[in-house]
Amino acid sequence: MPDLTKTAEETPAQAPVAAAAKPEKARSLGSDAWHDLRRKPIFVISALLILLLIVIAVAPGLFTSVDPRAGDLREHFHTPPNYSHFFEGDWFGYDGQGRSIYARVIYGARASVVVGICVTVGTTILGGIFGMLAGYFGGWIDTIISRVTDIFFGIPLLLGSLVILNAFTSRTIWSVVFALITLGWTQMTRVMRGSVITVKQADFVTAAKALGAGTGRIMFKHILPNAIAPVIVVATISLGGYIALEATLSFLGIGLQDPTISWGIDINSAQKLIRTAPFALFFPAGMLSITVLAFIMLGDAVRDALDPKLR
């Protein structure tokens, strides 16, 4: 009996491989995608960049020994960069308060990476659960979840976050994460619901039911692995978007606040001196763009690998 269930589970995953008719041994969709991804230069580049960013976010002390909050107005007020001083405090110059821009760019990675990852994980879990319930049970559960989703979907992410964050007197990374998850889960719910409805009609689900599998087992062992691919794709692509959104909110002065170090805050404080000290704007803005670019490239590569239709 267990053998039968196992076959039922693996059949759809093997289908694209069988269609490709390769003489090698059969691979699951996951390992097939991984096999594809490793050969893509875009994936390798973006994955390495993201890995580097995560290392910077976890241990910024490895990259600079300068305190990003220490300002020396007397010596360094808007001192231009000294490009030959690699990894030193004055490599990217000093900002308006005499703080090392290089150190601030390094320490600013943490806020972006934490917000991006937490919001993506949070919206994926929340949207995944709601989407699974709505798609699997249908009926009134689906009606309620879909209508609530419609309501939240009616509020643009940026505007809604303004209202939520406006209510916090002092804002930390977690208030930004909270605001973005509260408004961001709807897209994931819709993707998951659509995907579950398609998979639910597959023969292997009927087979599992006929074999007497319980609701929980069908949902998590049979439907989830086969419905998760579009969710992973949307999650990876939106991660970059959430990082850009955090920077935009911080730039507007309603996201993160000092003493938290964020590229958005630094872009905001550098904008006043865009003519005299463009470098103070350039480095945080450049790092932010590279980070968002890395995540979006990763999302593109993952989508190409997981979506057999595009092959």
Partner 1 sequence: MGRFVARRLLQMIPVFLGTTALIFFMVHLLPGDPLAALWGDKAPDPVQLAALRHQQHFDEPLIQQYLDYMGGLFTGDFGKALDGRPVLDKITEALPVTVQLALLAFGFEIVLGIGIGLFAGLRRGKVFDKSALVFTLLLISIPVPVLGFLFQTIFGINLKWVKPTVQDSTDITQLVLPAIVLGSLSLAYVARLTRTSIAENIKADYVRTAVAKGLPRRRVIGTHLLRNSLIPVVTFLGTDLGALMGGAIVTEGIFNVQGVGHALYQAINMKEGATVSGFVAFLVIVYLAAGLIVDLLYAVLDPRIRYA
Residue by residue, DSSP assigns the chain as -HHHHHHHHHHHHHHHHHHHT-SSPP--HHHHHHHHHHT-HHHHHHHHHHHHHHHHHH-GGGT--S-TT---HHHHTTPPP-TTSTTSTTTT-B-TTS-BHHHHHHHHHHHHHHHHHHHHHHHHHHHHHHHHHHHHH-HHHHHHHHHHHHHHHTS-HHHHHHHHHHT-SS--HHHHHHHHHHHHHHHHHHHHHHHHHHHHTSHHHHHHHHTT--HHHIIIIIIHHHHHHHHHHHHHHHHHHHHHHHHHHHHHTSS--TTS--HHHHHHHHGGGTTT-HHHHHHHHHHHHHHHHHHHHHHHHHHHHH-GGG-
Based on CB atoms, which residue is closest to partner 1, 151 or 211? 151
Nearest Cα neighbor of 255 from 183, 152, 186, 180 is 180
Which is closer to partner 1, CB of 29 or CB of 267? 267
- Give the shortest CB-254-to-partner 1 separation in angstroms: 5
Tell me how far, at minimum, the Cβ of 30 lies from partner 1, in Å.
24
- CB-CB neighbours of 11 under 10 Å: 15
Question: Least distance in Å: CB of 299 to partner 1?
Answer: 10
Residue nearer to partner 1 on the CB measure, 82 or 271:
271
Rounded least distance, CB 289 to partner 1, Å: 5
Q: Which is nearer to partner 1, 114 or 164 (CB)?
A: 164
Nearer to partner 1, 224 or 247 (CB): 247
What is the smallest separation between the CB atom of 167 and partner 1, expressed in angstroms? 4
Question: Which is closer to partner 1, CB of 88 or CB of 300?
Answer: 300
Smaller CB separation from partner 1, 70 or 290: 290
Question: Closest approach of Cβ 229 to partner 1, in Å?
Answer: 17
Could you tell me the smallest distance in angstroms from the CB atom of residue 39 to partner 1? 18
- Which residues of the chain form contacts with partner 1 (CB under 8 A)? 147-148, 150-152, 154-156, 158-160, 162-164, 166-169, 240, 244, 247-248, 251-254, 264, 267-268, 271, 274-275, 278, 281, 285, 288-289, 292-293, 296-297, 300
